[in-house]
Structure 1
Amino acid sequence: MNKDELIAILRLQATPKVGDIIAKKLINTSGSATQVFKESKSSLLKIDGIGAQLISHLLDNKNLKKAETEFSYIEKSKTQYCFFKDNDYPENLKHCIDAPILLFKDGNLNLTNPRIISVVGTRNITSYGRDFCNELIKDLAVYNPTIVSGFAYGVDICAHKAAIKNKLQTIAVLAHGLDEIYPKVHKKHIPAVNENGGFITEFWHDEKPLRENFLKRNRVVAGISQATIVIESAEKGGSLVTADIANSYNRDVFALPGRASDLFSKGCNNLIKNNQAHLLSSAEDIVKMLNWDVHKPTKQIQEKLFFELNDDEEKIYTYLIQNGRQLLDVIALDCNIPIHQLSSILIQMELKGVVKPHPGKMFEV
């Protein structure tokens, strides 16, 4: 990415009233972030959701100066970053309409692992929650998942440490810039996390851990993952917000049940009771629900099956074998098949006993 394009992206981030949804709309319509600021006012006004007030914010040179200052820091510090259209941008996040247009990262990250799960919960983790979290990640280790959390007290840091102990990649999603650390006491864990994964954030380098940033952070935790696991939660809490966002993205949510009288099991119990989460009792529940135990058919079975499938059906079958359960829109995008055509093909494949539909327009082999 060249200097002008990165500065233009940063300028969009710095512009009031321009969130990630609007920024993506502007970039996609104009062709690039740089081109957004070359468009005429009349052209910008033709874009749905763009008004005169927003355009005045876009053209404010104060935002350009802020962007140039942040660019200088990125260049000097050699900060790693990825744009939402880049190949190294997390695949699951690409399918979230409000995902950040730009992510900053640090460590030895590999964001291509299809088995990514987020583990969240209360900061006041009990021995019950801690033991279950450690055992769960230990039992999942054979499937080599990436463990995502928010680097906070309680369940978050427990999940990161369990991942490191079991030699799994772990990703800490921050609610502040890479030059900050919260909580301060977790500074001692930075080297181990960087060695076994790393940190990502949408916030500029010196952004403080403001309250509203944690809510924004939660959508990245939910969006980057195949599924979200809630270990413990009171009736209200950030982990329940993360679970709600994961549900809105049509991702699986799991919750650890507890006694009705336990304060930090009430949130999980309510998720299960309201059908907002699968009941989680062991690693096997995750493995089965996410199809991690499904292996590719033998060559002989594949050849027999492919003989009965046309080219599009074969493409979809192979895609689902490799990626597990997927949303209709995602299959259409990744297989380059129009949704109306894909729906018809999937019905035929269902009649042949090749695919199985699930609620929420999800399909699997």
Structure 2
Amino acid sequence: MSVNVTFDNLTVDLGGTRILDGVDLEIPAGSFVTLLGPSGSGKTTTLNVLAGFIERSGGHVRVDDKAIDDLPAHARNIGFLFQNYALFPHMNVGENVAFPLRARKIPAARRREMVADALRLVQLPDMQSRAIRSLSGGQQQRIALARALVFKPALLLLDEPLAALDKQLREAMQLELKRIQLETGTTTIAVTHDQIEAMSMADLVAIMNKGRLVQVGSPEEVYRRPADLFVATFLGEANLLPVSGGRVTGFRHAAATSRAEGIGVLRPEDIQIRPAAADDTAPGKVELSVFQGNRRRVTVRCAGIDTPVVISAPPSGVAAEVGDEVHLAIGVDRVHVVPAS
């Protein structure tokens, strides 16, 4: 069973400081939502209010349109995966996964079945007798996830679940978490400050800054059409170029897509290096060219533009070495304009 979640004008004051400032957010049943933002933006506080670990100062939290403000944490039917996994070292794998079932007084025979099912879900079957200390970081993360899901919660909360893993394992686990969420259908909310992680897993990304919700949308929407300069610069690299009269400074041929005045957001992959000048190109000189495996990151200085333009080019595309004169073109309808302030 999946549930929807609603934050209605949620506020939290701690020690005289406003940590959450009027957060309004609707999370559809069965969706995977990431709360994304820098440290101190309020994303973990939002998660902890939902879990019942922190009291709200104002507003309401609803699950399936029923207020849960006064429910204690243990009565909310929520699975929680902590950043440090919080596994019990004196218990083996099976005992760790079964812990929530014991607390709910599930009979022993049924507990064994449910533990086996949870371990199969995370692709670690037949590991009930293994010691926690004998597991790798990735295995511990899966065991903690199995424990959070074993009692079939209506809602799963993940607090920086992949922060302790190395890059390669973290990328693999992003896909694994998404697979498990799709298989179970459990409404899932994850906190992260990693943009790639958020966009890889989520159906919806909710971006927070200074206790406020700045923008909510699909990963592609928040990346391609950021609401403001904060979102534009927080989500990956962006070239920020003044727009006046619907045209981009330095690229007078490039039309703005959303407003005639402001700052144009140009992602590096939306600028191409052309082999020759044309009516729709702007000249420039290569200042830096770095091979990065799946792309070549090229920095170009163009006349009339105060800051260098960053381009993400195919590694086997047009040659662009330091000192080369090049010609830049912008992809059609790729200039999204945000307010300058």
TM-score normalised to structure 2 length: 0.25
Write 1 or 2 for the structure with the bigger share of helix: 1
Point out the structure with max Rg over C-alpha: 2
Using CA pairs under 8 Å that are at least 6 residues apart, name the structure with larger relative contact order, 1 or 2: 2
Greater fraction of residues in strand = 2
TM-score under structure 1 normalisation? Answer: 0.24
